A and B are shown apart, each in its own frame.
Chain A
Amino acid sequence: MAEESILTDDFLHELMNVGEVDLIVGVPTYNDAATIGQIVQAVRAGLVKYFPRQRAVILNADGGSQDNTQELVRAASINDLQPAANPHALRTLHSISARYGGGPTSGRGLYAILGAADLLHCSACAVISADSTNIEPEWIAHLLQPVQEDFDLVTPVYHRHKFDGLLVRNLVYPMTRALYAKQVREPYPSEFAFSGRLATHLFGQEGWVEEAEQDGAKLYLTISAITSGFKLAQALLGSKTRAQNNPPADVVDALREGVGPLFFSLDHYPAWRSNVSSEPVPVLGGQPEVTLEPLRINRKRLYDLFRSGVDELSPLLNSIVSQATLQELQLLASRAEQDFCYCDELWVKTVYEFAASYHRAVLNRDHIIQALAPLYRGRAYTFLAENRDSQGEEVERNVEALCLTFEKFKPYLGDLWDGRR
């Protein structure tokens, strides 16, 4: 896909009207009229309060909304703010909305913002998700200030419920950490900031343009920054909640967005083959906490979906995982609910075998990702059962143990990759 198809003439025209800026806050949208007003107000307040002397623009990269999202962004003006918010604002704060080409995917939206950051020569650019309705003006400062100081990519950390972000806790974070040797807690960030240097580096990269078609481009951006040696930091933003009108992502969609790009990256970044221990990434603004509010969850359904999945997909799994792993999965599926335990080692081996099969494309790659869904549900069941009565520290210890198992079994992935197993 050519980058011209994403950066349309209208998009470039809007950017040219703005001229060079110091800061960009990008908000990719698609039919987000219900939340966009609140997001833009918070972003404006943050920019005026914390960056009064900088040239800044709020850039809404829209995928073709039909619900007046763009009009709402354009309607927002500096007069909407309370005059007392910042009496020292010296610069014009632009708020523009432009439609990128190629249809609505978060990857294209992000690529359009990267292009804008490169073309407007900004020093720092933040990206805010349109469904982060609990955004505070301080988030803008927490994300952009570290970039202005020294860092190239600032990813968020949140106070999250112990059962929130199960795919991130059980696969995306541990595997990214094991492969690329950086302890980034949210490698698939909703909000993040990057430097102009990183934007220029990524914009126009062949692999990136290909990945821009996908929905998991945010994860790919994180991995690109790690493997290219850019300086990383994490910023505590507070609690993460979703907009009420946006239901949580479907498991299969989440796997496509979170796991697909991770497997895809293995082909493009051979850096993962080096045997380096993971190192921490500084967390600015305090440490995240695990919250423990009571939550009613139907674990039985996860267990049932795992069992039926292994039973129905056995011939398919036979092409993806090894015979030994398949036998262990079948044995696991035959166990009663109270004896069920999808342990760390088996889970890690399963994931690595899926990654190797994805690399060899033994089946259609999207089908491989879909076939992981029932197994992920089984792992989620075990995680929920193990941590049902756990305090925050214990949950963190369990996640850390899983991360170490992913690191320990990294040579196993190497062997699978080279066809030695």
Chain B
Amino acid sequence: MKIEIESLTKRIPGTGDFISIDYNKCNNCERCLIICVMNLWRKKDGKIHIINDYKSKCLECAACYQVCEAEAIKFRYPTGGTGIIFEKG
């Protein structure tokens, strides 16, 4: 059974940016690539980055921030009243 996960989330737009990566700190541990439930992190040309439209997919769990070995990923909760909502959480 393949579950189409992108249709299973709902968001209020207008979050602004809330995740960033500090390349002075990133040590390419790739923990963010493994942990992200929505699979939003990529590695291209030896450099880790989050996809451009992460704001329309992110579950705001903050696992990437928490798991980062180098503490290179910054996370803050999106603007009040915006972002992911769980109706059956």
Asked whether A and B interact, the reply is no
Interface residues of A (CB under 8 A from B): none
